[in-house]
Every structure is written in C-alpha cells, then in structure tokens.
Amino acid sequence: MPTVEVLMRDGSSRTLEAAGGSPLMEVLRDADTGVEGTCGGMCSCGTCHVYVAAEWVEKLPERSEDEAMMLEALQDFVELRPGSRLACQIDFDDQLSGISVEIAPEA
C-alpha cells in the first residue's frame, strides 16, 4: 500500500498507509493529523494546507489557479513556502508513495 511520511504540528513523525485513489487531504484527515478539510476538497477553506518536501514538489502537477488563490489568501495568517500545497488538490496514488509532507500551522 502507498505510504505518506507526515511531520505533525507537534514535531513528531508518522508513516501512514492508505489505498490510492483519493485526495491526499482525505488520507491526512482520516488519520487525525490535524488536517480538517472543512470544505470537503472544494479549494475554499485552506484547512488542508501542507508543506510538501522539496524533493517531491516537482513530482506534483502545478497549482491550479484556484489553489494558488486560496494559498495567497492564507499568507496573512500562516507562512507560505515553495512547497505549500492544498492536500485536497493532490491525488494520492502509487506514484506518490513515500511522499513527505509537513502539516502547516492552523491559519
């Protein structure tokens, strides 16, 4: 099963296993990592903000315009980094097995 390496807000690390085929947000939300996914993946809440590790950033499709706008709206409240992504916009599958993300602070 594909895995996700997660750096939690308290500094601890977890390795999650999940079947592919769903958004990364759902994997993180269902594992109680602090990701809420309040809008259900509609790119409008920002509660699924994660920092994707540098070595994985280029393996992901570029941010859509909607994702970029939502991230921009968060920047007054939370640090944005080059790897900032909305986990609801990342389709988790075998290709992404081993991806490493840090849960961003709550905005």
> Which amino acid is it at 91?
D
Composition of the chain by helix, strand, coil, percent to 5 = 25, 25, 50
Span of 4-12, 35-43, 55-63, 95-103 interacting with ligand FES by CB under 6 A: 35-43
The least CB distance from residue 39 to ligand FES, in Å, is 3
**Positive or negative, the Cα torsion across 90, 40, 104, 79?**
positive
Q: Does 86 bind ligand FES (CB under 6 A)?
A: yes
Q: Does 45 bind ligand FES (CB under 6 A)?
A: yes
Query: Among 33, 47, 84, 100, which residue interacts with ligand FES (rule: CB under 6 A)?
Result: 47
d(CA 46, CA 63) in angstroms, rounded, equals 14
The least CB distance from residue 47 to ligand FES, in Å, is 6
Q: Does 37 bind ligand FES (CB under 6 A)?
A: yes
* Site of tokens 């961003």: 104
Contact 68, 2 (CB under 8 A): no
Q: Does 43 bind ligand FES (CB under 6 A)?
A: yes
Q: Which residues of this chain interact with ligand FES, rule CB under 6 A?
A: 25, 37-39, 41-48, 70, 86, 88
